[in-house]
């Protein structure tokens, strides 16, 4: 089996697994999730991903009571039957199953849904492009919920325009991409948008920032505009399924590519961290 599913302790072929029709994730997207890179059955940055998952549960008042050690054990059960190679582990916690009603159901127990599937990481020298799209999401973007329709629309529009990702902005302020963090390099400094309610705290972003700070690369956190991004020395897309890749085009215009040595050093630091934690060299 290449795509393996999990529901509340049961493991099987993903396409044959079933969940209750009245699960709140079906009616309302009332669930939170996280996604983890798996290399040769070893998770990368699992601690950080699980911390974000439990934080998301707390912020949405989903009473997920499974201790972290037990969840890690269930994850390992799933990974034990996962094919070797590059894979993604998807973890979703729903508020539970209950008759359809907007208010939180009394007594409903959260459901745990997981699956693993093969992925193909892009090469670090991929020439990524962006299509600028107004960010129309609600103001809980810092919570990793399954309410992703605006992200879906943005990703589809970017794809239809031939771009790698959507550059999402509120007015002139850059927020993030449809499913990636956006960072820029200017004058030898890594510039990251502030983590407020408009931006998801990306794990890849956090690790890259930490590695830069530990290796003498200046980092500042501030709001930046689309105009500033267009004039950046380098533009980076960061995510679990992309790692760290460089952007060379926005809305059909050539951008960045002015500090390749620093950008490639950041990529090398990140890949070295993956190798250190998983033992896999990408």
Say if CB 133 and CB 57 are below 8 A apart.
no
Rg (CA), the chain: 19
Residues 6+ apart with CB under 8 A from 54: 64, 68
Which of 252, 271, 45 has the alpha carbon at shortest distance from 280?
A: 271
Q: Residue for token digits 């302790």?
A: 9
Residue 149 gets the label, from left (phi > 0), alpha (psi -120 to 50) or beta, of alpha
Catalytic residue among 42, 144, 242, 253: 144
Is residue 144 part of the annotated active site? The answer reads yes
Q: Residue for token digits 């939170």?
A: 32
Query: What are the tokens at 58?
Result: 């707390």
64-73 per-residue burial string, b: 16 or more CB within 10 A, e: under 16: beeeeeebee
Query: Side-chain half-sphere of 202: how many Cα atoms within 13 Å?
Result: 28
For the chain, strand residue ranges (E) read 4-7, 10-13, 31-39, 42-43, 86-94, 111-118, 127-134, 165-170, 173-177, 181-186, 189-192, 219-221, 234-239, 243-250, 253-254
- Catalytic residue set: 144
């Amino acid at each position: 089996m290449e795509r393996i599913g999990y529901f509340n302790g049961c493991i099987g072929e993903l396409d044959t697994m079933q969940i209750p029709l009245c699960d709140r994730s079906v009616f309302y997207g009332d669930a939170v999730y996280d996604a983890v890179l798996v290399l040769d059955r070893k998770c990368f940055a699992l601690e950080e991903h699980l911390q974000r998952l439990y934080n998301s549960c707390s912020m949405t008042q989903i009473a997920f009571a499974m201790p972290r050690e037990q969840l890690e054990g269930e994850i390992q059960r799933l990974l034990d039957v996962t094919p070797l190679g590059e894979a993604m582990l998807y973890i979703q916690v729903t508020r539970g199953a209950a008759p359809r009603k907007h208010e939180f159901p009394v007594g409903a127990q959260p459901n745990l849904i997981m699956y693993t599937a093969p992925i193909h990481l892009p090469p670090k020298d991929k020439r990524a492009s962006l299509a600028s799209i107004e960010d129309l999401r609600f103001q809980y973007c810092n919570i990793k919920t399954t309410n992703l329709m605006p992200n879906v629309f943005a990703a589809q529009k970017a794809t239809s325009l031939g771009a790698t990702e959507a550059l999402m902005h509120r007015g002139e302020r850059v927020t993030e991409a449809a499913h990636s963090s956006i960072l820029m390099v200017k004058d030898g400094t890594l510039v990251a948008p502030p983590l407020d309610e408009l931006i998801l705290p990306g794990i890849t972003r956090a690790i890259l920032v930490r590695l830069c700070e530990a290796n003498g690369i200046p980092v500042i956190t501030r709001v930046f505009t689309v105009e500033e991004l267009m004039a950046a020395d380098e533009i980076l897309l960061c995510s679990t399924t992309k790692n760290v890749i460089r952007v060379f085009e926005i809305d059909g215009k050539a951008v960045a590519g002015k500090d390749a040595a620093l950008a490639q050093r950041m990529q090398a630091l990140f890949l070295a961290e993956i190798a250190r934690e998983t033992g896999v060299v990408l």
